[in-house]
């Protein structure tokens, strides 16, 4: 009977493939085949699908679909390979949960309530914006879908991780992806342009790459400070050395600003915090002596730009046109928010604002902003509470690095839409999922070790040392 079902299924699949082969171009067939392969791999073992997703985060091309009619952007909706991969992996995850209901679709986490509130605020604001004609349906749909995609990463991580070895593998792949992206960034420096993330298309986004490198560099630095293995320390040093040049040559002032609180949080979390923070402050004060000329010029350009009518003056200081435009954007967003104070203009229903918090306020109103702040608060609370309970050096290193990088991203968001940028948020939400499960994993490891010792103690000849002699 099984053989007959197999033969019939194979014939049906062959007929479907034959039909589409005759109707669709070869490129779509290839993409469809890859999607089916990823779906099958993820259905059999979701961990393999997550590895594919990790490497696609910074190493995948972008695809433009259509033009936006809303005021949010002056270009098309940008979708990358990892967006499609995430949808495919997500469907396989849903399918696997439908087959095996014991897996659980959404485990209870400290972020569930905050995620629900923020998702509802974005959906309602955009829905009302579409009905009022302020939001283009296609554009609004894809942007809200992107926001929800990030939360799917979190839930897949939390539902899947079962032991510390998995965490180590995921973190290794995340850091390896960062290393490859950094090397590609280093190769861009001789061209004389601002360094951007790989495969960004014709118009790069150096600020995005700067925020990503800042976050990943903070994680690597904290892990280095807590590492006990010499080989691990050497690998992390190599990664940090690879990150520094492309980070500097992004020439992103938002990233430079965010670097200062990130560094101070890292120093404060060290054992000899007073000495470490003092050294860091001295190095920051002396940094103009050894920073590349392009970096110093970029920073000084904020106040040294030739006089222009669009500049804003603060006292006797004239701010460059880019900084002035951001300040005007903050002011205009707050003024225009008063016209739609409850749910705002809808996601993509307001003109482009290159700063996270005024954009959230203008697009989703006071309800959306409060939900967003509650989400950010809940994330920070988890990381801070972990500091009191985590003892394992590896786990503490990840948690400290996340907290420092997260602090930096909050400052990065002053001059960028940090918390909706896919190439920053996908690795960020991977790490959010990791820090959520760290305490339970550590408790599991401790119980396992206690049980092993108890069994060894009851052995006929008492506990034995199975470690190789030195």
Domain ranges in the chain?
Answer: 28-446
Query: For residue 65, is pLDDT > 80?
Result: no
pLDDT at res. 379: 97
Distance CA 295, CA 269 (A): 28
Bridge partners, residue 313, by sequence: 318
pLDDT at res. 129: 94
pLDDT digits (tens, 9 = 90+) for 353-400: 889 999 999 999 999 999 999 999 999 999 999 999 999 999 999 999
pLDDT digits (tens, 9 = 90+) for 228-253: 889 999 999 999 999 999 999 999 99
**Residue 75 banded pLDDT, cuts 50, 70, 90:** very low
Average pLDDT in the chain: 82
Distance CA 238, CA 244 (A): 10
Query: For residue 97, is pLDDT > 80?
Result: no
Name the residue with higher pLDDT: 146 or 465: 146
Entry pTM: 0.85
pLDDT digits (tens, 9 = 90+) for 158-206: 888 888 899 999 999 999 999 999 999 999 999 888 999 887 766 678 9
Distance CA 469, CA 397 (A): 29
CA dihedral (145, 147, 148, 154) positive or negative: positive
**Residue 11 banded pLDDT, cuts 50, 70, 90:** low
- What is the distance of C-alpha 129 from the center of its chain? 27
CA angle 92/98/103 to nearest 5° reads 90
All residues at 6 or more sequence positions from 229 whose CB lies less than 8 Å from its CB, including other chains: none
- Local structure of residue 354 (DSSP, 8 states): S
Give the HSE-up count for residue 211: Cα atoms under 13 Å, Cβ half-sphere. 26
- Local structure of residue 341 (DSSP, 8 states): T
**Residue 443 banded pLDDT, cuts 50, 70, 90:** confident
Query: For residue 14, is pLDDT > 70?
Result: no
pLDDT digits (tens, 9 = 90+) for 118-159: 999 999 999 999 999 999 898 888 889 888 888 888 988 888
Query: For residue 220, is pLDDT > 90?
Result: yes
302: three-class secondary structure by DSSP: helix
DSSP string, 213-225: HHHHHHHHHHHHH
Q: Which of 174-188, 213-227, 432-446 has the lowest mean pLDDT?
A: 432-446
% of the chain exceeding 90 in pLDDT: 44
Runs of H (alpha helix) within 75-205 = 81-99, 112-132, 137-160, 164-188
Bridge partners, residue 314, by sequence: 317
> Which tokens hold the place of 427?
């690795």
Query: For residue 49, is pLDDT > 60?
Result: yes
All residues at 6 or more sequence positions from 307 whose CB lies less than 8 Å from its CB, including other chains: 318
């Amino acid at each position: 009977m099984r053989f007959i079902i197999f033969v019939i299924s194979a014939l049906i699949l062959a007929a479907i493939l034959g039909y589409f082969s005759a109707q669709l171009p070869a490129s779509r067939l290839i993409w469809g085949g890859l999607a089916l392969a990823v779906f099958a791999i993820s259905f059999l073992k979701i961990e393999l699908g997550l590895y594919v997703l990790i490497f696609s985060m910074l190493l995948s091309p972008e695809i433009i679909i259509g033009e936006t009619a809303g005021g949010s952007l002056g270009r098309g909706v940008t979708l990358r390979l990892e967006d499609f991969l995430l949808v495919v992996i997500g469907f396989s995850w849903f399918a696997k949960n439908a087959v095996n209901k014991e897996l659980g679709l959404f485990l209870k986490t400290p972020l569930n309530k905050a995620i629900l509130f923020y998702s509802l605020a974005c959906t309602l604001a955009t829905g009302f914006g579409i009905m009022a004609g302020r939001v283009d349906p296609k554009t609004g749909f894809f942007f809200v879908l992107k926001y929800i995609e990030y939360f799917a990463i979190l839930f897949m991580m939390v539902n899947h991780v079962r032991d510390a070895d998995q965490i180590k593998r995921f973190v290794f792949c995340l850091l390896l992806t960062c290393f490859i992206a950094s090397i590609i960034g280093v190769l861009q420096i001789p061209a004389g342009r601002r360094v951007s993330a790989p495969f960004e298309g014709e118009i790069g986004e150096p600020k995005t790459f700067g925020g990503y490198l800042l976050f990943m560099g903070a994680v690597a630095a904290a892990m280095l400070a807590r590492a006990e293995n010499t080989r691990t320390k050497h690998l992390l040093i190599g990664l940090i050395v690879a990150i520094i040049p492309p980070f500097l040559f992004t020439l992103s002032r938002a990233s430079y600003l965010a670097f200062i609180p990130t560094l101070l949080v890292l120093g404060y979390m060290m054992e000899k915090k007073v000495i470490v923070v003092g050294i860091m402050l001295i190095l920051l004060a002396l940094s103009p002596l050894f920073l590349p000329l392009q970096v110093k010029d970029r920073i000084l350009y904020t106040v040294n730009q030739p006089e222009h009518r669009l500049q804003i003056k603060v006292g006797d200081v004239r701010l460059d046109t880019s900084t002035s435009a951001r300040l005007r954007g903050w002011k205009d967003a707050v003024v225009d928010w008063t016209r739609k104070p409850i749910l705002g203009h809808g996601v993509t229903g307001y003109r482009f604002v290159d700063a996270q918090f005024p954009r959230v306020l203008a697009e989703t109103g006071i309800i959306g902003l409060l939900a967003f702040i509650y989400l950010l608060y809940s994330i920070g609370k988890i990381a801070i509470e972990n500091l009191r309970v985590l003892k394992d050096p590896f786990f503490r290193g990840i948690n400290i690095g996340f907290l420092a990088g997260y602090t930096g991203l909050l400052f990065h968001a002053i001059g960028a839409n940090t918390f909706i940028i896919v190439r920053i948020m996908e690795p960020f939400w991977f790490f959010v999922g990791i820090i959520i499960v760290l305490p339970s994993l550590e408790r599991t490891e401790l119980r396992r070790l206690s049980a092993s010792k108890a069994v060894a103690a009851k052995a006929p000849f008492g506990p034995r040392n199975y470690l190789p002699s030195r």
